[in-house]
């Protein structure tokens, strides 16, 4: 497996070694020891899967401490633009975005540590998106950033007016209008 550090500290793109022959293909999709070498001890507690059609945008979502989540994401069917936004308050790259193409063809995975908002746009006719989380979903600790925030530096491959977005995600605030990235109950 090749591991590529990204420009924003803490993000990693994992590229598996795929073995192909006349029977099909094989690759190691997860290795706890290799992930620990990158990130330190991570205990995955939840796996999620979403199926969506072209133009669906899901995000940008995050959870605040003590329920902040690291994620390991991949696509098993189709193709998506996957995006992480640094929301670590003391980070020199706060507010910066990083994006990667994940697909069933490239079989890449994206490691996104806690302290990032995350979202993805489906580029193929249909996609199945899978992700591991190191903390449970906690709705009282969730937040989000509006995908139409003009301060986000994202080169969208599809017009945003054509995105299929949940009503909840349409109402998310811009990055500068959010509550603090620590829990305030």
Question: Annotated active-site positions, please?
Answer: 61, 131
Is residue 159 classed exposed, middle or buried when 0-12, 13-18 and 19+ CB atoms within 10 A define those classes? Answer: exposed
What contacts 24+ positions apart, CB below 8 Å, involve 163-167?
163/55, 163/56, 163/57, 163/121, 164/52, 164/53, 164/55, 164/56, 164/57, 165/56, 165/57, 166/58
Question: Length of the chain, please?
Answer: 185
Q: Are 152 and 175 in contact (CB under 8 A)?
A: yes
d(CA 54, CA 163): 9
Q: Of 73, 122, 79, 130, nearest to 103 (Cα)? A: 79
Which residue has tokens 């969208």?
Answer: 156
d(CA 100, CA 79): 11
């Amino acid at each position: 497996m090749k591991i590529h550090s990204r420009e924003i500290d803490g993000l990693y793109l994992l590229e598996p070694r795929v073995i192909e022959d006349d029977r099909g293909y094989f690759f190691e999709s997860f290795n706890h020891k290799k992930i620990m070498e990158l990130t330190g001890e991570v205990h995955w507690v939840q796996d999620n899967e979403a199926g969506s059609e072209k133009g669906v945008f899901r995000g940008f979502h995050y959870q605040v401490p003590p329920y902040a989540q690291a994620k390991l994401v991949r696509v098993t069917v189709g193709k998506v633009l996957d995006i992480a936004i640094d929301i670590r308050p003391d980070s020199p790259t706060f507010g910066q975005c990083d994006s990667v193409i994940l697909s069933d063809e490239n079989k890449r995975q994206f490691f996104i540590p806690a302290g990032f908002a995350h979202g993805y746009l489906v580029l193929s006719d249909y996609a199945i998106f899978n992700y591991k989380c190191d903390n449970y979903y906690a709705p009282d600790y969730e937040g989000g950033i509006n995908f139409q925030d003009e301060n986000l530096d994202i080169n969208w491959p599809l017009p945003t007016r054509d995105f299929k977005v949940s009503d909840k995600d349409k109402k998310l605030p811009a990055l500068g209008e959010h509550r603090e990235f620590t829990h305030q109950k």
